[in-house]
Structures are given as C-alpha cells and as structure tokens.
A and B are shown apart, each in its own frame.
Chain A
Amino acid sequence: DGGITQSPKYLFRKEGQNVTLSCEQNLNHDAMYWYRQDPGQGLRLIYYSQIVNDFQKGDIAEGYSVSREKKESFPLTVTSAQKNPTAFYLCASSRTVDEQFFGPGTRLTVL
C-alpha cells in the first residue's frame, strides 16, 4: 500500500541533544512538508521541499534543519537551538497543490 511512514511514533531525548525524525513516502510525490502541532495551536509549517535537493523555510524554521537527497525521504533534524522542541511532528507529501497526504506523526518529548 502506498503511503507516508514516520518513525518512531514516540521519541524521547535529553535536552541539548540533536534528534532526527524520519519521513518516507512511496506515493511518488514531488513535494514534502514538515509541520509542528502543539495543543490549541493548529499546525505550523517548519520546512517544505518541492523537488529533490531543494527546500524552503516555513513559518517556524528556527532550530530545525532538513535534507532532501532522495524523492522518497525528507528527514527533519531538531537541533539543540530549538527552544521548545517537545511537540507532535507531522510529515506530509503532495503531488498536486490541492491535497496533502499526512503521515501518522512522531511525538517528541525532550526531558
């Protein structure tokens, strides 16, 4: 079945450590996105990529980094510079601009 996978579902890290969240899609979509979801805040765009080897900052990119070396993969690194990293992170992909398909999410907790 085609879809988007994010791993792991739950992730715990100590303060000051970098952590990388995985996102893989087999939908052959060109565009991929990372969102952060906080309670009562809705979703906020961190980074997005429209093609391989290219990506743009979203609304809250500070403290995050991404890479897009393969069409299928768009990993997100939460660096120690991110002041409040504990959140639910959602990855999405799209073939057209009208519909984004979301993965199941990764809940990151920084202890």
Chain B
Amino acid sequence: GDSVTQMEGPVTLSEEAFLTINCTYTATGYPSLFWYVQYPGEGLQLLLKATKADDKGSNKGFEATYRKETTSFHLEKGSVQVSDSAVYFCALRQGGSEKLVFGKGTKLTVNP
C-alpha cells in the first residue's frame, strides 16, 4: 500500500539555521503531496502542497518540490525562527481517494 517515510526527529536547530526535513513516499501513479504542521496542543494546519511532478509548494518561507524521479517531497526553510517549533507531517493522497496517508511526523525545536 501507499506509505510516507519521514526523517526521524527530534530536530534541534538554532534560530536562523537552515532547515531540511526529508520525506519520501511509496505510491502508484501521481499522488498529491502535502506538508502539515502541528503546534503544541493544537490540531494540524496545512503548510503547503503540490499536486503534480516538479511543482513547488511554498508558504511562510517554507518550500518543498515534488520530485517524481526520487519520490521525494523534502521540506526546506532558509532561516528558521523560534516560532517554527512544531511537529511537521508529510502526507500523500491518491487521485480519486478521500484518504490522506501521513508520515510519523518530525518534531522541530528552534532555540534562540
């Protein structure tokens, strides 16, 4: 079946450091790909998405590019802030399906 694999955390960075969180997927066809963020004690929020190969999703300084050849959707940010501390989830959805398949999440802590 479809699956999403994220780099294991936790990830701890200093403010203004560069962030990469790796995400790879296993799926047939051309799924849509998503990054969700969960701040402490809250539900998930959609951070960005890409619906076809080579698309780049971006939001709040975060970016991720849909790479079909490497089945990857790595999340990047050039300069993280303390307020970016959260758990980040990579997810996919197959065309025609209502279901999201989530990775296990990566906890990011940014220190001042």
Contacts and interface: CB of A to CB of B under 8 A. Distances in A.
Contacts of A4: 43
B32 A105 contact: no
B74 interface: no
A50 B98 contact: yes
A41 B46 CA distance: 19
Contacts, number: 51
Contact of A102 (B43, B93, B99, B105): B43
B102 A58 contact: no
A102 B44 contact: yes
A92 B44 CA distance: 9
A43 interface: yes
Instruction: Output the residue of B43, B51, B93, B103 with the most chain A CB within 10 A.
Output: B43
Q: How large is the interface on B (under 10, 10 to 19, 20 to 34, 35 or more residues)?
A: 20 to 34
B98 A31 contact: yes
Contact of A42 (B89, B93, B97): B89
Interface in B77-112: 89, 93, 97-100, 102-105
B99 A48 contact: yes
